[in-house]
């Protein structure tokens, strides 16, 4: 069960990151390229353009929660 949560969380994180990148490219090409190349730019974009990127952020956060829950349920792989 933990492995499934980790996998689902990883997919949610990927989808969330893609949604944020899409929102960044809609704002400008430089924002989009920055989000793809430099991770901190994605965070800055989310903070400065919250309304445009909140869907992707929520998917990303849900993915992180699922990964953490799956890791805890699975015993941390140890």
pTM for this one? 0.86
pLDDT digits (tens, 9 = 90+) for 31-78: 999 999 998 999 999 999 999 999 999 999 999 999 999 999 987 655
Counting the structural domains of the chain, the total is: 1
Q: How many CB atoms lie within 10 A of CB 3?
A: 12
DSSP state of 45: H
Q: Tell me how far apart the alpha carbons of residues 18 and 36 are, in angstroms, rounded to a whole number.
A: 9
52 CB-near residues (< 8 Å, 6+ apart): 23, 26, 27
| Helix/strand number for the chain, H first, E second | 4, 0
pLDDT at 5: 92
pLDDT at 78: 54
Q: How many CB atoms lie within 10 A of CB 13?
A: 18
Which domain does 7 fall in, by range?
A: 2-77
């Amino acid at each position: 069960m933990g492995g499934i949560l980790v996998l689902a969380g990883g997919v949610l994180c990927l989808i969330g990151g893609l949604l944020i990148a899409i929102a960044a490219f809609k704002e400008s090409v430089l924002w989009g390229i920055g989000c793809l190349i430099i991770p901190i730019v994605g965070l800055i974009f989310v903070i400065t353009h919250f309304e445009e990127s909140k869907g992707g952020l929520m998917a990303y956060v849900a993915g992180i929660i699922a990964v953490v829950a799956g890791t805890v349920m699975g015993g941390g792989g140890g």
